[in-house]
């Protein structure tokens, strides 16, 4: 059989139903092979290779399968690098396949920059942002490389892999029975003695749990059961804020620079913090790491030993383990001590009550209003910027809802293509939140949405500015809004005209009270423009170097001291 046919059948056997790519000369054999298996696997044409990569990421995140994206050599391959980085930093398992020039055209050991047209050494370019990247030099090794790549993508801390396949390798004939097979080795043993967690918990009077993004592959109901079993005040990372219903009695919000004041105060006042599968980067713990939970015993669980090496404090307890195994252990071994925590619950609830309504979140109100009309089980995607933080702070999650972010990489232009990938993974309408800047990064994917009549509801928060950078300029550059506002080198298109050009329904809101369920009533796509003033802000916001609980705008010092003394 032909190598490209073997590749397609490999993905079918793995249960992958949808892949994303853009046509090019060096992937024409792969495209042809996909076309002959349309009833089993669909190859979707996007309009930019970066978008294809984001679509594959979201497909993987929602389906819990491996995603797949393909592109031709040269610019096609390099255009995917941003999406490859996104998969790497957010631990998303995606197989990227790039076409490459024929082996007889390759520069090989020649000292020239390029021999074949559109020849680019993509493997070396992405080695630092993939778990595995390889050039497939002979047809007979395709089975070995595919199995190895698939295994590595899912093994341990998940992530992207890349196979660079020359065109003449793709079209070559092989006998699958004669191919070398990949035999997976065994991972290093992780820690399996988790007793130190329960021993430390037994001494705690003010414990707190931090849920991280590693748990997003776990059904929400299982996490709710876990939190109920533990009976301990719980916070999350920003990316993991959808793990618990917003109104769960033990859910106090997400921590970090743009996080909940309540969550940050509770962590600061804890005497024990259990971190489950979260990187604990600067945005979460603050610029001075030792200020995070200063009076607490910190226990961190992570499958990646290198993340644990980046410590918060030298005296923390680090356990390299699969976080799901730790949850199973705690649910079996830990006996809730809720009676002993009554005083701590009162403190947490006092903090919550005293900080209620302290921040002006008038733009967050749009998100609150929109969320009440979004049905259970819906996937929500966000872009990067103020829209992302407003969603994280104020979206009221319902049962089975998932919120996807470009977390570690923070790539503008993520939301729109991610919504496409999420749709093909879920088969349900998707909500896509965007800023006026981010949507222009991959605005061409509106044609994909229109072409396939996808039920994606696209919200654009339009403040005619790059709002988050504008805010930085206001704080640190004496209001020099260069390159971020109208008349200063930045502008936005007519979004109503954009919607008309792509033949989709257009709605607009200028006040939160104007939001209705009309956007959900439309069967196909709809573009909703939320018109905002230029000077929008995200509060609370942490000034670099300060402890998490002392966010801007600063609260009254009497109240601050009162909360710290509780």
For 400, counting Cβ atoms within 10 Å of its Cβ (0-12 exposed, 13-18 middle, 19+ buried), the class is middle
| Same-domain check for residues 202 and 120 | no
| Same-domain check for residues 34 and 17 | yes
Tell me if 371 is assigned to some domain: yes
Token duo for residue 372 = 């009440």
Final residue of a domain: which of 324, 355, 386? Answer: 355
Tell me if 552 is assigned to some domain: no
What span, in angstroms and rounded, lies between the C-alpha atoms of 331 and 335?
8
Final residue of a domain: which of 329, 355, 381? Answer: 355
| Same-domain check for residues 320 and 420 | no
Total number of domains in the chain: 3
Average pLDDT over residues 135-150: 97
| Same-domain check for residues 241 and 172 | no
Asked if pLDDT for residue 467 goes beyond 70, the answer is yes
| Same-domain check for residues 38 and 95 | yes
pLDDT in tens, 285-319: 999 999 999 999 999 999 999 999 999 999 999 99
> Quick one: which of 13, 89, 87 has its CA closest to 55?
87
Q: What are phi and psi of 441, to 5 degrees?
A: -70, -35
The predicted pLDDT at position 190 comes to 81
The predicted pLDDT at position 132 comes to 98
Q: What are phi and psi of 497, to 5 degrees?
A: -65, -35
In the chain, the percentage of residues whose pLDDT exceeds 90 is 92
pLDDT, mean over the chain: 95
Q: Is 366 helix (H, G, I), strand (E, B) or coil?
A: helix
Token duo for residue 424 = 């093909």
* pTM strictly above 0.85: yes
Tell me if 285 is assigned to some domain: yes
The predicted pLDDT at position 335 comes to 73
CB 437 within 8 A of CB 466: yes
| Same-domain check for residues 158 and 52 | yes
Average pLDDT over residues 360-373: 94
Average pLDDT over residues 519-548: 94
The CATH number of residue 119's host domain is 3.40.50.970
Residues in contact with 217: Cβ distance below 8 Å, sequence separation at least 6, in sequence order: 64
Residues in contact with 51: Cβ distance below 8 Å, sequence separation at least 6, in sequence order: 20, 83, 413, 416, 417, 420, 442, 444, 445, 448
In which band, very low, low, confident or very high, does the pLDDT at 338 lie, cut at 50, 70 and 90? low
The predicted pLDDT at position 64 comes to 95
| Same-domain check for residues 309 and 400 | no
Residues in contact with 47: Cβ distance below 8 Å, sequence separation at least 6, in sequence order: 22, 444, 445, 447, 448
Final residue of a domain: which of 355, 385, 420? Answer: 355
The predicted pLDDT at position 191 comes to 78
Judged by phi (left if over 0) then psi (alpha if -120 to 50, else beta), residue 256 lies in left
Tell me if 351 is assigned to some domain: yes
Q: What is the enclosing helix (H) or strand (E) of 196? A: helix 195-203
What span, in angstroms and rounded, lies between the C-alpha atoms of 442 and 444?
5
CB 383 within 8 A of CB 21: no
CB atoms within 10 A of CB 103: 16
Alpha helices by DSSP H, listed for 385-523, are 386-394, 415-426, 445-451, 467-476, 495-501, 518-521
Residues 8, 95, 434: CA angle, nearest 5 degrees: 115
pLDDT in tens, 156-195: 999 999 999 999 999 999 999 988 889 887 767 787 889 9
Tell me if 550 is assigned to some domain: no
> HSE (CB half, 13 Å, CA atoms) of 435?
30
The predicted pLDDT at position 528 comes to 98
pLDDT in tens, 477-518: 999 999 999 999 999 999 999 999 999 999 999 999 999 999
| Same-domain check for residues 143 and 252 | no
CB 149 within 8 A of CB 83: no
- Secondary structure (H, E, C), 532-544: CCCCCCCCCECCC
pLDDT in tens, 42-65: 999 999 999 999 999 999 999 999
Q: Which residue range(s) make up the domain with 253?
A: 195-355
The predicted pLDDT at position 109 comes to 86
| Same-domain check for residues 296 and 382 | no
What span, in angstroms and rounded, lies between the C-alpha atoms of 346 and 264?
16
Asked if pLDDT for residue 337 goes beyond 70, the answer is no
Q: What are phi and psi of 163, to 5 degrees?
A: -115, 125
Token duo for residue 125 = 């370019």
Tell me if 551 is assigned to some domain: no
């Amino acid at each position: 059989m032909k190598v490209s046919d073997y590749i397609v059948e490999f993905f079918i056997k793995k249960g992958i139903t949808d892949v994303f790519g853009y046509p090019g000369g060096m992937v024409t054999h792969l495209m042809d092979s996909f076309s002959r298996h349309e009833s089993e696997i669909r190859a979707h044409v996007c309009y930019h290779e970066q978008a294809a990569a984001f679509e594959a990421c979201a497909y993987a995140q929602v389906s819990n399968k491996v995603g797949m994206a393909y592109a031709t050599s040269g610019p096609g391959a390099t255009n995917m690098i941003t999406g490859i980085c996104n998969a790497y930093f957010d631990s998303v398992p995606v197989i990227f396949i790039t076409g490459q020039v024929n082996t007889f055209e390759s520069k090989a050991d020649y000292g020239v920059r390029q021999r074949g047209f559109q020849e680019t050494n993509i493997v070396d370019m992405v080695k630092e942002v993939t778990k595995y990247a390889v050039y497939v030099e002979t047809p007979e090794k395709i089975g070995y490389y595919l199995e190895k790549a698939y295994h590595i993508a899912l093994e341990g801390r998940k992530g992207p892999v890349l196979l660079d396949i020359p065109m003449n390798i793709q079209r070559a004939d092989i006998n699958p029975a004669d191919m070398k097979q990949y035999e997976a080795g065994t991972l290093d043993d992780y820690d399996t003695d988790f007793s130190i967690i329960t021993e430390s918990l037994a001494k705690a009077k003010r414990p707190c749990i931090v849920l991280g993004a590693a748990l997003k592959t776990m059904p929400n109901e299982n996490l709710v059961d876990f939190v109920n079993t533990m009976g301990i005040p719980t916070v999350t990372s920003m990316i993991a804020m959808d793990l618990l219903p917003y109104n769960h009695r033990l859910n106090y919000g997400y921590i970090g620079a743009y996080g909940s004041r309540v969550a940050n105060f509770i962590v600061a006042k804890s005497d024990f913090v259990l971190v489950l599968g979260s990187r604990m980067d600067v945005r979460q713990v603050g610029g001075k790491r030792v200020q995070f939970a200063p009076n607490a015993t910190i226990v961190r669980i992570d499958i990646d030993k290198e993340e644990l090496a980046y410590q918060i404090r030298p005296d923390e307890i680090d356990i390299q383990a699969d976080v799901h195994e730790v949850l199973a252990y705690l649910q079996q071994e830990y006996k809730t001590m809720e009676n002993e925590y009554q005083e701590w619950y009162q403190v947490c609830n006092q903090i919550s009550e005293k900080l209620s309504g302290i921040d002006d979140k008038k733009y967050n109100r749009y998100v609150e209003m929109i969320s009440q009309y979004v049905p259970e089980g819906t996937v929500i995607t966000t872009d990067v910027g103020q829209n992302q933080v407003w969603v994280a702070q104020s979206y009221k999650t319902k049962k089975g809802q998932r919120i996807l972010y470009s977390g570690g990489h923070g790539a503008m232009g993520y939301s729109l293509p991610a919504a496409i990938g999420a749709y093909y993974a879920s088969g349900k309408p998707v909500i896509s939140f965007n800023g006026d800047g981010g949507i222009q990064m991959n605005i061409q994917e509106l044609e994909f949405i229109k072409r396939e009549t996808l039920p994606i509801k696209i919200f654009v928060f339009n403040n005619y500015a790059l709002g988050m950078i504008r805010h930085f300029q206001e704080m640190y550059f004496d209001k020099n809004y260069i390159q971020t506002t109208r008349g200063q080198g930045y502008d936005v298109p007519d979004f109503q005209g954009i919607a008309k050009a792509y033949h989709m329904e257009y709605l607009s809101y200028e006040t939160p009270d104007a939001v209705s369920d009309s956007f959900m009533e439309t069967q196909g796509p709809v573009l909703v423009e939320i018109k905002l003033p230029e000077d929008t802000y995200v509060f609370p916001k942490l000034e670099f170097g300060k402890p998490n609980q002392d966010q801007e705008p600063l609260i009254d010092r009497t109240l601050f001291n009162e909360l710290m003394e509780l």
